[in-house]
Structures are given as structure tokens and as C-alpha cells.
Homo-oligomer: A and B are copies of this chain.
């Protein structure tokens, strides 16, 4: 078989890289803010643009309120995936390699990941002291979501990325195909190059089409 024809027909497996919060589960810090009734924990990078400042602020608030990692984990354990998320994810994993790329922490995500039947998750780590207080956080080096997409492209996958927010449009741009899911109308109108939808059924249809 001539080299050319082979190259031309070279097929790639598809990998779906999707965000976690707002895509499969509710926003974790907002759920913690609600349950603890500490409105300051609702702050996001929209309010405090420097992520390190924001995280240090959050950890101070937890310490001030004597909330240990275990306390937070038991709040998160009561959270549920978004209705239909597990069925959508099961379908995606049955048909494609599907991984979750998130800026949450393994220690927070674990109970939700269990409810979703253990998909692969790339995220970050927390550090606790001997009183189980969260004293620091460790972002993965190259933790930016678009780096995960690049890595899987380099490993020979065609990557479909799914995300919701302005911050993550670099991940969508880096992927072979980017889809906005549950994004605000503001983000949708700023990025007309990406398909956008708000239901798992439509998301399935988009994925099947491409």
C-alpha cells in the first residue's frame, strides 16, 4: 500500500476531555458556601482574579470557621451529580475514551467521582496538617487544561473538549473540536466558533455528528 494513501486514511481514536464542575456536577465551592452558610466562600476568580490569593482567602475562611477537610468532604459527599450526568458520562465512556480535566482537588472530588463510577480525573491536590486542617494546595505543574488536551493530541487522539466558562476557552481552542456546555449567553456569543448547548441529549447529538 503506498505510503500516501495510508497517511491519508490514518484513523485516530477520539478522546473526550471535559470539565467537571458545571458540566457533570454543581460548582463545589458554591455548594460548600450554601451548606456552611458562609457567603464569602462563593467568591470566584471573577471577584478575586489572582487564583493564589483566592485560594489563600478560602483556606483562611475554612480555618477561621474550624472547618476541617473531613467536614468539607462530608458536605461534598451529600452533593449529587447534575441530573442526567452519570447517564451521559456512561454513554461517552462506552463509545470513546473520556477523561475529566478540572481545577478542583482530588480530596474534594472523590465522593462525586465514586458516584460517577470512577472516570479518570486530572486535577490538583490539597495539603492538610495533623489536625486535618487544609493548610495548602498543590497545582499540578502544567496543570492548565489546554496542556492536557495538547498531551492527548500528541499521543495520537482526536480530542473533543467540553467546557462552560470563559477561562477555559483555551482548552476548547486547543482541541480538534470544542463544545460549550452550560455556558452563559455572554460566553456563547463571544465564541461563535464553538457549538453550544445546555442539555446532555443535544451534547450527545453534537458528539455523534462530529
- A: residues with CB less than 8 A from B are 1, 6, 9-13, 93-94, 97-99, 106, 114, 117-125, 127, 136, 138-143, 147-148, 151-152, 154-157
Contact A155–B138 (Cβ < 8 Å): no
Q: Return A19 CB to nearest CB of chain B, in Å.
A: 16
- Given A97-B120, A97-B122, A155:B127 Cβ within 8 A: no
- A123 proximity list for chain B (CB < 8 A): 13
Contact A156–B127 (Cβ < 8 Å): no
Q: 20 A-B Cβ contacts within 8 A? A: A10-B138, A10-B141, A12-B125, A12-B141, A13-B123, A13-B124, A93-B118, A94-B118, A97-B121, A98-B120, A117-B117, A120-B120, A139-B156, A140-B155, A140-B157, A141-B154, A142-B156, A148-B155, A151-B151, A151-B154
The 7 closest A-B pairs by CB, nearest first: A140-B156, A141-B156, A120-B120, A151-B151, A11-B138, A93-B118, A11-B125
Identical chains bound together, number: 2
Main SS at interface, chain A: mixed
- A139 proximity list for chain B (CB < 8 A): 156
- A122 proximity list for chain B (CB < 8 A): 97, 155
Closest-by-CB residue of B relative to A151 is B151
Q: Give the CA-CA distance A91 to B22 in the complex, in Å.
A: 28
- A156 proximity list for chain B (CB < 8 A): 139-143
Residue of B6, B136, B142, B157 touching A154 (CB-CB under 8 A): B142
Contact A13–B140 (Cβ < 8 Å): yes
Contact A127–B11 (Cβ < 8 Å): yes
